[in-house]
């Protein structure tokens, strides 16, 4: 596992999100009231991107079919999705938001 710098802590205001790619991982990083959450930017219902969806507290709503996921643990909160999102550990180190991925090759 590798920790990767993805943003400076002051780049992402509460309510903001960014999408980035590390190797084969396309990840959406969210700031929810000062807490950072990273999930795979793909709806488990139809493989569409999630980051363009509405942020509702700690939930992201898929813009295609309105499935919702809890950003804290990836769980489905509203169908039609039934499989949880992949989540990535996040930490703050020396003013940077870091995400842990399994590889960077």
What pLDDT is stored for residue 104 in this prediction?
A: 65
Q: pLDDT of the chain along its 105 residues, tens only?
A: 899 999 999 999 999 999 999 988 999 999 999 999 999 999 999 999 999 999 999 999 999 999 999 999 999 999 999 999 999 999 999 999 999 998 765
State how far the Cα of 19 lies from the Cα of 39, in Å rounded to an integer: 10
> Closest Cα partner for 6 from 96, 101, 95, 67?
96
> Closest Cα partner for 90 from 101, 105, 103, 76?
101
What pLDDT is stored for residue 57 in this prediction?
A: 95
CATH numbers and ranges of domains, the chain: 2-101 (2.102.10.10)
């Amino acid at each position: 596992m590798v920790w990767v710098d993805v943003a400076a802590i002051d780049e992402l205001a509460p309510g903001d999100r960014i999408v980035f790619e590390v190797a084969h991982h396309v990840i959406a990083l969210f700031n929810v009231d000062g807490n950072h959450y990273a999930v795979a930017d793909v709806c488990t219902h139809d493989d569409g991107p999630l980051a363009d969806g509405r942020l509702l507290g700690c939930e992201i709503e898929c813009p295609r079919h309105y499935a919702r996921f809890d950003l804290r643990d990836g769980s489905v909160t509203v169908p039609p999705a039934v499989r949880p999102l992949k989540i990535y550990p996040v930490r703050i180190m020396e003013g940077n938001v870091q995400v842990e991925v399994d590889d960077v090759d």
